Amino acid sequence: MKDIKELEKKARELKEMVVRMTTKAGTGHVTSSFSCAELMTALYYGDILRYRPDDCKWEGRDYFILSKGHANPILYAILADLGFIDKKELDLFCQPGGKIGVLLRGDIPGAEITSGSLGCGLGIAAGIAQALKSDRKPNYVFCMLGDAECREGAVWESAMYIGYAQLNNLVTIIDRNYLGATHFVEEEAGIEPIDDKWEAFGFDVRHINGHDIGEIMEAVGDVRCIKSKKPLAIIADTVKGNGVSFIENIPFMHGVAVKPERMEEAIEEIGKGSKL
């Protein structure tokens, strides 16, 4: 699926799935999932990631590392939609007898790591990328970080090594939604100039609109053809909670599900499309 309109439609479908599963559970990181929904859609449905739903440990697969593991609802929706897991599991999100909960579990088919403790994913991604390089494997590694997560020292330790080792089989995607759990990133402990920092660590940097699937595809779709020895960092400007006006860009909506009485309103707004 490479048609931009079809990818946009798929992103809206995935957002609706996230709303329904989290509202039923009464919990879940909806806003964090919505800021990266188009990015995730492009990766999984835009012929960027290589994977096999019937063989999640396929040796030829690319590795997707969701370092911002609290955004697992959007990943679980994708894994269910693609057939990695049964769609019935979404109805059991954070429910008795269910397998999936508030943080990402690495034992779920299609999920590479357990995450939720921030700052760890990029180091794991670097290790996988280095192993693939050492074994002369063609697989790629894609790691998604939150921007507030980039205040973790472990992120920059990993970035230092990735740049030094020229791990150009690793694509780092920063979901730059400008919000942490409780406050705006730049008003709490700013990370600007973010582009310059990644460049200083030896990365090629592309700065894009993270809700524009056309821009995403243009920025990430050619990674296998890039001649540069440098690793690639994508800085994706996004809006936390994008697509639903009453949860967008609001502190303390982190980890909060849409209330049942407003679920249909949220789904109606999702149907109108995302914006930035």
Confidence at residue 273, expressed as pLDDT on a 0 to 100 scale = 73
Is residue 229 within 8 Å of 166, Cβ to Cβ? yes
- Is 51 a domain residue? yes
Of the pLDDT bands very low, low, confident and very high (cuts 50, 70, 90), residue 215 is: very high
Question: What is the model's pLDDT at position 1?
Answer: 55
Query: In whole angstroms, how far apart are CA 80 and each of 17, 70, 124?
Result: 10, 17, 24
- Residue 194: both structure tokens together: 């973010």
pLDDT digits (tens, 9 = 90+) for 142-161: 999 999 999 999 999 999 99
Residue closest to 108 by CA, chosen among 90, 127, 132: 90
pLDDT digits (tens, 9 = 90+) for 49-98: 999 999 999 999 999 999 999 999 999 999 999 999 999 999 999 999 99
Residue 80 in domain: yes
226 vs 66, which has greater pLDDT? 66
Residue 275: band (very low, low, confident or very high) from pLDDT cuts 50, 70, 90: low
| Residue 269: per-residue pLDDT | 97
**DSSP string over 20-67:** HHHHHHT---HHHHHHTHHHHHHHHHTT-S---TT-TT-TT--EEEES
Q: 116-120, 195-199, 271-275: which has the minimum mean pLDDT? A: 271-275
Report how far residue 201's alpha carbon sits from residue 162's, in angstroms, rounded to the nearest whole number.
Answer: 8
> Residue 8 domain-assigned?
yes
What pTM was estimated for this model as a whole?
0.96
- Yes or no: say if 151 and 211 are a contact pair by the CB < 8 Å rule: no
In a domain, 276, yes or no: no
Mean pLDDT across the chain: 95
Three state DSSP letters for 141-177: EEEEEECHHHHCHHHHHHHHHHHHHCCCCEEEEEEEC
Report d(CA 269, CA 172) in Å as an integer: 30
> Given this model, what pLDDT does residue 189 score?
86
**How many angstroms separate the CA atoms of 197 and 217, rounded?**
24
- How many domains would you assign to the chain? 1
Q: Domain of 109: which CATH number?
A: 3.40.50.970
Specify the residue for token string 């939150």.
146
- pLDDT score recorded for residue 222: 84
pLDDT tens per residue across span 173-209:
999 999 998 999 999 889 999 999 999 999 999 999 9
- Closest by CA position to 173, among listed 29, 41, 272: 41
Residue 5 and residue 270 in contact, taking contact as beta carbons nearer than 8 Å: no
**Beta-bridge partners for 66:** 144
Q: What is residue 232's three-state secondary structure? A: strand
Domain span at 45: 4-271
Structural domain contains residue 16:
yes
